[in-house]
A and B are shown apart, each in its own frame.
Chain A
């Protein structure tokens, strides 16, 4: 295919070469490369399940063309923390029961991370607007909001002590 090329994606700190056509989305490229922690939901920018950080900003990977991400830093939820060394958001989501079926959780955490990077001590409005693009059909959001606020407090403390 003429409009296919090999690009380098910098995912979670490692360089990965993928051969993709120009119309392939970042979501498809990531999942084809084995990053199944990035979820495919609505594919039209409504649900946020596919959210990843590109150069530190949360975007819907379903609306992002893979070619346009070459050389940019991509972070998925497994790049945020590991089972052995989880991120405060991951701990809080687990501890406060903010995941039910878990499908929305990766995108929810990435959106929360980006929101907290800009608003470390978020107001109710910051929280609601920050997560407005992420749909959860199980929990009703209350536990998710609680978990994000809990994680925010931990992150502020860690930020202050480091």
Chain B
């Protein structure tokens, strides 16, 4: 069993931020489905935990003006119960559907999945493919930045001490768009992703107007294959161009060997999945 710690359970965001900035340190606890496992394994030894579960203002989904805004403590199951997400972000729905098991989905949160910083965090590639922005709350105020700029390295991000993830937001996609996610893993349920790939393709006047390819579990952080995206934008796509872009996406990741798959296999999977998802999206749209 893990060591004892102090446990604070603030009911308001301002109280949580005050506690986290009082100089005594503190580890935020969202759903706990990663943190408590890490504590039990001895990888995390917090002396003080600030549980965020009582802070109502961090949980919920809104879609005012078409922009989707999701509070950081919204659970994976909450996402699945929100039809507005299903309409506007099918990639996120797919990732949430295949996320761990039911009990973990009922507990794990969007903010927690992002904050844990795992390259295999399944909600992150879909959010990056939607050009999501992340808003952080700190004792000195709020700041918003693209989610693609949030991660600095393996399990490292731009948060200052005492800063919390407040919400995630994105603007709706144009009508002629496809947004998809594919999770490659040993099983469909309760499995850690070997390669996760989210694609957004928007078409205008017969050409690819926007391409987003976000790669999970193949680099120290979730990354976008920006050069592969650039090869597609402004073009009329065909099999040759899609394959060249897929090969470029595979060059833009830097996977490792681990117990789930080899680096070589992951790189191959990025190429195959990029080709498949972009082809399917293009065929659906034109």
Q: Which residue numbers of A lie inside 8 Å of B, CB to CB?
A: 1, 3, 21-23, 25, 43-46, 48, 51, 57-60, 62-65, 67-68, 111, 114-115, 118, 128-135
Contacts and interface: CB of A to CB of B under 8 A. Distances in A.
B4 A3 contact: yes
B102 interface: yes
A45 B176 CA distance: 40
A60 B53 contact: no
Interface residues of B, number: 34
B118 interface: no
State the main secondary structure of chain A at its contact with B.
Answer: mixed
Contacts of B53: 68
B189 interface: yes
A132 B190 contact: yes
A44 B4 contact: no
Contact of B9 (A67, A128, A130): A67
Interface stretch (B15-23, B103-111, B242-250, B275-283): B103-111
Contact of A133 (B36, B97, B100, B188): B100
B188 A45 contact: no
Contacts, number: 101
Contacts of B3: 23
A111 B102 CA distance: 7
Nearest to B103: A60
A57 B77 CA distance: 10
B51 A60 contact: no
Q: Which 3 A-B pairs have the closest CB atoms?
A: A133-B101, A132-B189, A22-B7
5 contacts: A1-B4, A45-B103, A129-B97, A129-B189, A133-B104
B154 interface: no
Contacts of B190: 46, 132-133, 135
B90 interface: no
Given A23-B7, A57-B77, A67-B7, A133 B51 contact: no
B33 A45 contact: yes
B6 interface: yes
B37 interface: yes
Interface in B32-78: 32-33, 36-37, 40-41, 49, 51, 53, 77
